[in-house]
Amino acid sequence: MRLLYMVFALLFRCGLDAAFHARRESEVSPFDWYSIEPSENITWTSCFGDQQCARLELPLDHSRPAGPKTQIALQMIPATDKANYQGTILVNPGGPGIAGTLFISQYGPLFTQVIGPAFDILAFDPRGTGATTPLAQCFASPQESDAWALSEVAALRVGDDSIPLARARDQVVADLCAAKLGGNGQEDIGASAEEWGPGRFMDTASVATDMLKIVEKLGQEKLQYYGVSYGTLLGQYFAAKYPHKVGRMILDGVVDGVLWQRGEDFNPAEDADRVMDTFFANCVKAGPQKCGIWETTPPAVAKRVDRILAALRSEPIPLPNSRSGPDVFTEDKALSFVFQELFQPLDGFPLMARVFRAIEVRDADVLSQLPLFTSDAGVPPWLQRNVGLQAIACSDFPPLEDSLKDDVATVRNNTATSRWAGPVTFSRLRVSCGAWKIRAKARYTGPVAAKLDAPVLAISNRLDPVTPISFARTVVDRFQGMRLLIQDTVGHTASLSLSNCVALAIHMYMANGTLPAVDTVCPPDVIPLVDSGSTTVSR
Ligand SMILES: *[C@@H]1O[C@H](CO)[C@@H](O)[C@H](O)[C@H]1NC(C)=O
Ligand SMILES: *[C@@H]1O[C@H](CO)[C@@H](O)[C@H](O)[C@H]1NC(C)=O
Ligand SMILES: *[C@@H]1O[C@H](CO)[C@@H](O)[C@H](O)[C@H]1NC(C)=O
């Protein structure tokens, strides 16, 4: 079963890890989040069919509860099995910067199948994101934001102008955001959130405390939580700060919390190229019918892909009628596309095979169906792109060196680690955070470790492009009570390629806290590309 679906915004692909950035076009919802009156207790309003929505008002600064507030958007799928009711489970879909509400609108029902009908499933938009206010939005209008995003530097390379250009662009964003979200240095109790600077309170530790408050307002003793990718970092911060408040916790696609907190060398793509190697190998196994760039050996497929990209570099493909408007398909766009598809090989590998073939024969019709750009025009604020990623990640990191020399070294290092991931996400984030000017008022610098009262389930794929299994093993050693379940697959998070075996383990764990046996490895149900045919490009 395919549980979750995730796409990064293709152009500003700065999304850190698992971004469940659902496709906007399928989310044209008439529901007006801002029509809900925020309240200090959770007051549910019907929304999205039989779901419940609320805006919970919490202090911007938890250490000064009388000061200005943030309004946290909550969206819940109520339990249907009231007889066996087991409380509420909070979910975080990753990013950071991805709105939980958008995620649950699209994948909540599937999620319910795995978790079971005895739980309320509650997503929330972390500070700065989605329908939570203040929003991490620095542009004056959707048109301005679109124009900016259209010229985004998608891939960074040593030796061309991409790094200097990205640096200058990030200084622009950092300046705009400092003016909009950085506050004026005054913290009178009576002052507004804008005056305090909401961007100073978007760090992960503040969100962890929000989760505690949500749990308290629900009248629940402990947190039950399902976090994927960056959501595992949020879970670790919560567990480190409030170890006795952890009830059930599932961390899938584990981020190394200590490396994250350190910030400077955060380069989690050590296994990304091995995921790509799996694509080459599966292409050989799948045969020419399923893999349009088939060759007899994996290295031969890899060479063919090299030739395809080299040809694209010398001759980008004009797309006068792409579904998101006139465009040109470039090597950078191909790299962004590939990186994204490595997350979800069940659909991604067949799609990559089709797209590589389409590039090879310069089939503009196929490439025109890819969602290359999503416009903010006519979209409500909670569905527009925002700078939640930078506002959260750069707040968690310490101030980073921001010289050209450092950025070049980062790109060089990251590209040495991974040819396929190096030029994109993490390098881009590192440059953004070098320029970022807003500092969290109380960045969490304590241990990202704890002794837990409750058993906690960590899950990792064997090969994950952005949260390597080595991270999961390290984190499990830091939290007493945590156990690792391995899914013997490739891709980012088990949830995106969920096997029946892992689904069952999750179900059992949620039902009564039973962890799978030590060293359990779940086999996959489907081998990407080998067992699946060619998908449609547009999905
Ligand atoms: C919120 O709940 C608390 C505890 O039940 C109660 O004391 C308080 O009056 C409530 N606030 C509002 C605005 O209803
Ligand atoms: C690059 O890698 C080298 C060797 O691993 C390390 O010493 C250095 O700190 C790294 N530099 C950056 C900017 O990540
Ligand atoms: C937990 O649930 C599983 C599946 O229903 C069952 O096999 C197991 O015995 C239960 N364990 C406890 C401690 O209740």
Cβ atoms within 10 A of the Cβ of 309, count?
Answer: 16
- Minimal CA–CA distance to 261: which of 233, 241, 238? 233
- Residue 170 has which token pair? 């990030």
- First-to-last C-alpha distance (Å) of the chain: 16
Please classify residue 470 by burial: count the beta carbons closer than 10 Å to its beta carbon, then call 0-12 exposed, 13-18 middle and 19+ buried.
middle
Is any ligand 2 atom within 6 A of the Cβ of residue 406? yes
Question: Are the CB atoms for 528 and 345 separated by under 8 Å?
Answer: yes
pLDDT over 50 at 6, yes or no: no
Question: Are the CB atoms for 401 and 434 separated by under 8 Å?
Answer: yes
Residues 180-232: pLDDT tens digits? Answer: 999 998 899 999 999 999 999 999 999 999 999 999 999 999 999 999 999 99
Nearest atom of ligand 2 to the alpha carbon of 412: 1
Beta bridge partners of 136: none
Q: Which of the two residues, 61 and 534, has the higher pLDDT score?
A: 61
Is any ligand 1 atom within 6 A of the Cβ of residue 40? yes
Compute the distance between CA of residue 341 and CA of residue 335 in angstroms, rounded to an integer: 10
Give the closest ligand to the alpha carbon of residue 515: 3
Pick the CATH number of 2-136+199-265+444-522 from 3.30.2020.30, 3.40.1030.10, 3.40.50.1820, 3.90.550.10: 3.40.50.1820
What lies within 8 Å, CB to CB, of 221 at 6+ separation is 215, 247
Is any ligand 1 atom within 6 A of the Cβ of residue 151? no
What lies within 8 Å, CB to CB, of 62 at 6+ separation is 206, 209, 213
pLDDT over 90 at 416, yes or no: yes
Residue 121 to residues 108, 242, 365, 504: CA-CA distances in angstroms?
8, 21, 40, 18
Mapped to the 3 state alphabet, what secondary structure does 265-333 carry? CCCCCCCHHHHHHHHHHHHHHHCCCCCCCCCCCHHHHHHHHHHHHHHHHHCCEEEEEECCEEEEECHHH
Residues 500-533: pLDDT tens digits? Answer: 999 999 999 999 999 999 999 999 999 999 998 6
Is the model's pTM score more than 0.85?
Answer: yes
- Distance from the alpha carbon of residue 470 to the mean position of ligand 2, in angstroms: 19
Residues 289-333: pLDDT tens digits? Answer: 999 999 999 999 999 999 999 999 999 999 999 998 999 999 999
Average pLDDT of the chain? 92
